[in-house]
Structure 1
């Protein structure tokens, strides 16, 4: 299980932070759950200034994050899901979004929470989406990681 070894992030005080959540639209049930998880985590952290942007698919997350980073939010949370199919499309999309979001984060210094599920089948995505019965909530984890990192880095400004 991928959650083995995950840190427990608690008591995050994100009051005053501005966070952008960018979410793909493919696999609506899973994506809506990831957005709900991110929203719950941001609310629990006290983040009130949250903007949600929806893009068509996971591939478009990188360009959206790059453009929205220009508005200098404190953190960006990117949510998507790519389910392996019978063609190399899975590998291309997964690699491009991983590299693209990493480049946005490194080039801008803005933490990017990586909530992109890369799975072999829809059930694996459901298990990680924070739905009732899911074993993980990757939307919440991505939001927590982005806010926690933003707070950790703010002590060096």
Structure 2
């Protein structure tokens, strides 16, 4: 582990010498992540992308990519685009990245089950904004908005989100 890694601890996520409160999946932390279980998967997940809403904030880092109105994330296990960024119109099951709420205003994408997705293993483990303190996610790791912006301004592509078994 390096200071540039995001490391989940019982007290929150450690990054660059600071500790940030966070939320994890409603299914807890799991060694056997499955699509729809709400669990945050154990592992060392590389940060492979950063997306942001250009209509709501400035780019937090030079490598951040704007989220467009038609940007979606496929969660359809039967589709070739499973666990990939796809564009509307898209007939398969998906999650809209440009949401009405602020949860995905800023997203760090991990390499969980990506780029060669195994159907059923779970899609889209993101780092994003939380709904409120302690409110669980569907498997992602979530932070307070200002903390997420601070992290995003300092994290580099290839850094890891490290989730250890409890």
Could you state the TM-score of these two structures normalised by the residue count of structure 2? 0.30
Q: Which has the higher contact order (CA 8 A, sep 6+)?
A: 2
As a proportion of its length, which structure holds more helix?
1
